[in-house]
Structure 1
Amino acid sequence: MHALSIPTWIIHISSVIEWIAAIWLIWKYGEVTANHAWWALSFAMLPALVSAMCACTWHYFDNPESLEWMVTLQAAMTLVGNFTLWAAAVLIWRSTNAKTASSPVSTKPMNLE
């Protein structure tokens, strides 16, 4: 556990806690807005959470060679997480565009003559 200083540990742990809170809040936002595309974002955030937990675990055990596979797993989860977050963003964008297109409000410019 000596691999990182106390302030660095505080940042690492608080970042993981914040990410968990963000996942939960985004899930709730999806419930409140009845737009379940936001739930996809919650799930898409999980690989990044696994990545962060891998980093914390590896540092906790003082970066041993026996756990170097965790560095590879962290990198893989970061890559997977970037793609899942992109896919969730596209899904949210499409869901909001679909709602705007079906909106009863006209998007035609008004004729002021």
Structure 2
Amino acid sequence: MAAIWFIWRYGEVTQNKAWWGLSVAMLPALVSAMCACTWHYFDNPPSFEWMVTLQAAMTVLGNVTLCIAAWYIWRSFRSVKE
């Protein structure tokens, strides 16, 4: 959560909204991590097996959103150079 906040603030300081997109794109990865932590904290109970599916889905979604956000950041720097 701290990394998300720092990246958001960096976007404010640099006035580059692409960094805001990265901070929002990190949210599915945070949900994925929280699912994994919860699953293990409660010692992997069978009643929480749905959480494994949610964690996998959030990992895939997080990877896609982070890839898109990174592309927008790359594109924003590329347009500045031209």
Q: One-letter code of the match for 1:23?
A: I
Uncovered stretches (5+) of structure 2, i.e. residues with no partner:
none
Task: Establish whether residue 50 from structure 1 lines up as the match of residue 31 from structure 2.
Answer: yes
What's the Cα RMSD here? 0.7
Which secondary structure does the structure 2 equivalent of 1:71 belong to? helix
Deviation larger for 80-89 or 52-61: 52-61
Q: Which runs of 4+ in 1 moved over 6 A?
A: none
Structure with bigger RCO (C-alpha 8 Å, 6+ apart) = 2
TM-score, length-scaled by structure 2:
0.96
Q: One-letter code of the match for 1:64?
A: P
Uncovered stretches (5+) of structure 1, i.e. residues with no partner:
1-19, 102-113
Q: Which residue in 2 is equivalent to 1:97?
A: 78
Which has a greater percent of helix? 2
Task: Establish whether residue 87 from structure 1 lines up as the match of residue 65 from structure 2.
Answer: no
Q: Which residue in 2 is equivalent to 1:10?
A: none
Deviation at 1:48, TM superposition (A): 0.5
Q: Mark the structure with the bigger radius of gyration.
A: 1
Q: One-letter code of the match for 2:73?
A: I
Identical aligned pairs, as a percentage? Answer: 73
Instruction: Tell me how far apart the structure 2 counterparts of residues 100 and 34 of structure 1 sit (CA, whole Å).
Output: 16
Task: Establish whether residue 38 from structure 1 lines up as the match of residue 19 from structure 2.
Answer: yes
Post-superposition Cα deviations, 1:7-33, rounded to whole Å, max 9, x if no partner, equal xxxxxxxxxxxxx11111100000000
Q: Which residue in 1 is equivalent to 2:57?
A: 76
Deviation at 1:37, TM superposition (A): 0.3
